[in-house]
Chains A and B, each alone.
Chain A
Amino acid sequence: MKQFLIFVKKEWLHILRDRRTLFILFGMPVAQILIFGFALSNEVKNSKIAILDHSNDAVSQYLIQKIEASNYFEIVENLDSDLEIDAVFKKGNVRLVLVFEPAFSEKLLNQHEASIQLISDASDPNVGTTLVNYCSSIINDYQNELLGTTKLPLRIKAEVRMIYNPQLKAAYNFVPGVMAMVLLLICSLMTSVAIVREKELGTMEILLVSPIKPALVIISKTIPYLILSFINICSILLLSYFVLDVPIKGSLVLLLGESTLFIITSLALGMFVSSVTTTQTAAMFGTLVGLFMPTLMFSGFMFPVDNMPVPLQLISNILPSKWFFYIVKSVMIKGLGFYAVWKETLILIGITVFMFVVSIRNFDKRLVL
C-alpha cells in the first residue's frame, strides 16, 4: 500500500511539473462550456433573406416590415428579377427569398386572393424548412388580422406548459452534452498518453518489473487524473450554474458521484486504448478521431437517437457518453433521484469493469511475454 502511494505521488508530481499541460487541462473545459453554452443552439434566428417585390404596394410593404420585425429574419437584399434568385443563393448568404406577385394588394382586396412565393435554400434542410414555417406563420397571422376577431363557437383551448426548461434555453440541453464530451475526451486522452509514453520511451518495462502489481502501477497512473478531473467537474458545474443559469435541480452529491463514475469510465477507456497501442501518436489519434466525432454524433445531444437507423442506435449503446448524458439530464435538469438513473449507472459500471479487466489483461500478457 505504501509503495502504491509513492507511485501515486510520483505521478502527481510529474503532472504538476508540467504547467502548460495543467493550464490546458483546466482552461479547456472552462472555455468550452462558455463558448458552447452561449454560442450553440439549434434555434434558427437572424437568417438572411432577400425580397423580390414585384408589386411594391402598401400591403407587401407592411408584410415585409412585419417579417423584418421578428428576430428570425434579417433582410439583406432587394432583388429586381427572378434571374437574381439563383445567383444570390449561390453566393451563400441568403437563405430565403420572398416573392410578391405584381399588384399584390389589389388582388388581395378585390379578388380576395393573392399569392406569395417562398423560395428557400434547402441545402441546409433544417434551416430551409424552419424558415418557411416561420415565414408562413407570420403571413398567417396577418391573414387572421384581416379576418378580424369573431369569436368562434365550440372552442378547444390548449394550455401548453413547458416543463423542466420553461424558457426553452438551449444551454439546458448543451451543458449536459458538453460535460459528457469534455470529460470523456480529456480523461481518456490523458491516461492513454500517460501509459503509452512509458511504453514508447521504454520505461514501462521498468515499471512492470517493479515489486508492485502491474494493475496497481496502472491504477496509480490514473488517480492524479481522477483528482484533476473532479476539479474540472466542479468548475464546469459552477460556471453553468452561475454564468449560464442552468440550475442543478437534483441532488448535488448524486450528480458529483455519477460524474466521478463517468470520469473513472473515461479513464478506463484511456487505459484500454493504451493497452492496444504502442505509440503516443496512435494512442492520441485513436482516442481523438475515434471518440470525438462519434461522441458528438451519437450521444443524443446533437441529433435525436430515435431518428437514427437501428444498427446505429445499437452502436450508440456502447458509448458511455450516451448514458452519462441521460444521467446528467435527469439529475441536473429534471431533478430526479437515483431511482431514475440506476439502470444507466449499472451500465456505466459494467463498461468500466469490462475495460479495466481487458486492459489489465493486455498489460499482464506483455509482462509474461
Chain B
Amino acid sequence: MRTIYFIIQKEFSQFFRDKANIQMLLIMPIIQLILLPMAANYEVKNIQLFIIDFDHSSYSSQMIQKITSSGYIQLAGIGHSYKSGMEALDKDKADILLEIPVGFEKTLIREDEITISASVNAVNGQRASLGAQYLLTILKDFNQEIRTKWVQFPKFKPVPIIQIDHSYWYNPFMNYKQFMVPGILVILLTMIGANMSALNLVKEKEIGTIEQINVSPIRKHHFIIGKLIPFWILGQVVLSIGLMVAWLVYGIIPVGHISLIYLFSSVYLLAILGLGLLISTIAHTQQQAMLISFFIMMIFVLLSGLYTSIDSMPKWAQFITKLNPIAYFVQVMRMVIMKGSGFKDILPHLLSVLGMAIVLIPWAVWNYRKKS
C-alpha cells in the first residue's frame, strides 16, 4: 500500500513540475469547452436565395416579397442571367437559385398553371432538402393567397381535419448548447485520460526508466495501480471543472442527480485508463502510442452519437457503438443532465462500461507482463 502511495506521489510531483502539462490538461480543455459549443448548431437557417426574375410583373415581385419576408430565406442577390445565378451557387454565395420565367403572371392567369424552376446547391444534402422544403412551403402559401383573391370557392364543404399538436420535452427552447456541452466535456475528459495514460507509460519505456522500475522491488500491479490512480483523480478534477464551466458559462444544471454522473465517470475512467494502458503496452514510442490512441479516439468520437444520431447509422456502425465507451458516457450525460434519468435508467450503460473496464485492465496488465 505504501509503495502505491509513493508512486502516486512521484507521479503527481512529476506532473506538476511541467507547466505545459497543466496548460494542456486544465486550461486548454476549459477554453475549448467554453468556445466549441457555440459553434455547434445544426439548425438550418439563413438560406441564401438568388433570384432571376425574367418577368418583372406585379406577381413576381409580390412573390419575391413573400419569400424574403419569411425569415428563413434571405435574398442573396438578383441577377439578370442564368450565368450570374450559377456563379453565385458555385461560390457558395447562394444556396438556391430561383428562376421566374418570362410571362409568369400572364401564363398563370391564362393557362391556370405555370412552372418555375429552382436549382439547389446540394453538396450538403441536409441543408439542401430543408432549404427546398422552406421554399416550397412559402410558394404554396403564396399560391393559396392568389387563389383566394381570384377564385370564389364553392361555399362551405366540410373536410376532415387532423389537428397535429406537438410538444418538445426536456428542451423546449431548442438549446443546442445544453445538448452539446455535456458531450464535448466527455470527449475532452476522454482525450486527457486515454492519451495521457498511454503516453506516460510509453515515455518510461522510451527513456529507459521502465527497466529500473522492473528490476526494483516494486510489484508490477503496484506500479500499474500507482500509474492509474493519479490520472483517475485528474480525470475527476477535469470533469468537476467542466461541470462548473457548464454551470457558470452556459447555466446548465443537471436535472438528475449529480452523483450519478460521478458514479458513471469513476467507472468510465477505469475503462478509458485501461484502454490507454493497453495502448502503451502495444506501442514502443510515444509517437506510436499517440497515433494508435488518436486512431481509436477519432473513430470512437465520430461514432459516439455526439455529432450524428446513432439511430441513423448503418447496422455495423451501430454495433461498433456498442463497444464504444464514449457513446455510453455521452448518452448518460445527456440523460442525467437534460432528462433527469435515474440510476435504473443508466444501469445498463453502467454495466456495459464496467464490463469494458473489467476486460481492458487485466488485458493490459497481462500484455504488459508478457512484454517485459
Contact = CB atoms under 8 A, between A and B. Distances in A.
A185 B302 CA distance: 15
A41 interface: yes
A113 B161 contact: yes
A42 B178 CA distance: 19
B309 interface: yes
A158 B116 contact: yes
B113 A163 contact: no
A190 B92 CA distance: 33
A211 interface: no
A91 interface: yes
A74 B309 CA distance: 14
B303 to A, nearest CB: 6
A154 B123 contact: no
Interface stretch (A2-10, A330-338, A358-366): A330-338
B339 interface: yes
B339 A89 contact: yes
Interface in A162-202: 162-166, 168-170, 172-173, 185, 189-190, 193-194, 197
A349 interface: no
Interface in B279-301: 283-288, 290-292, 294-295, 298-299, 301
A292 B296 CA distance: 13
B309 A114 contact: no
A21 B312 CA distance: 34
Nearest to A193: B287
A303 B158 CA distance: 45
A297 B39 CA distance: 6
A289 B184 CA distance: 12
A312 B171 CA distance: 24
B84 interface: no
Interface in A292-308: 292-294, 296-298, 302-304, 306-308
A250 to B, nearest CB: 11
A43 B169 contact: no
A204 to B, nearest CB: 16
Interface stretch (A32-40, A213-221, A228-236, A260-268): A32-40
B222 interface: no
Interface stretch (B131-139, B229-237, B264-272): B131-139
Interface stretch (B141-149, B241-249, B353-361): B141-149
**Which of B126, B146, B178 has the most chain A CB atoms inside 10 A of its CB?**
B126
A27 B48 CA distance: 40
A297 B31 CA distance: 14
Contact of B288 (A20, A91, A125): A20
B205 to A, nearest CB: 13
A211 to B, nearest CB: 28
B309 A288 contact: no
A353 interface: no
Interface residues of B, number: 116
B16 interface: no
A45 to B, nearest CB: 5
A357 interface: no
Nearest to B200: A281
A124 B305 CA distance: 10
A224 B150 CA distance: 73
Interface in B338-370: 338-342, 345
A308 B114 contact: no
A284 B287 contact: yes
A87 to B, nearest CB: 8
A285 B24 contact: yes
Contact of B170 (A89, A147, A155): A89
Contact of B312 (A44, A109, A142, A197): A44
A122 B167 CA distance: 9
Given A45-B311, A155-B112, A163 B29 contact: no
B126 A279 contact: no
25 contacts: A39-B302, A39-B303, A39-B314, A92-B331, A108-B162, A112-B161, A113-B162, A114-B160, A116-B163, A118-B165, A118-B166, A129-B174, A156-B142, A160-B136, A281-B199, A282-B18, A282-B20, A285-B24, A289-B32, A293-B36, A303-B39, A304-B44, A307-B46, A312-B35, A334-B123
Given A38-B317, A112-B159, 7 more contacts: A18-B285, A43-B125, A113-B163, A126-B309, A127-B309, A189-B294, A307-B45
Interface of A: 18, 20-21, 24-25, 27-28, 31-32, 35-36, 38-48, 74, 89-92, 95, 108-109, 112-129, 132, 136, 139, 142-143, 146-147, 152-166, 168-170, 172-173, 185, 189-190, 193-194, 197, 277-282, 284-286, 288-290, 292-294, 296-298, 302-304, 306-309, 312, 315-316, 326, 329-330, 333-334, 336, 340
Interface of B: 18, 20-21, 24, 28-29, 32, 35-36, 38-46, 89-92, 108-109, 112-129, 132, 135-136, 139, 142-143, 146-147, 150-151, 158-172, 174-176, 178-179, 184, 187-188, 191-192, 195-196, 199-200, 203, 283-288, 290-292, 294-295, 298-299, 301-303, 307-309, 311-314, 316-317, 331, 334-335, 338-342, 345
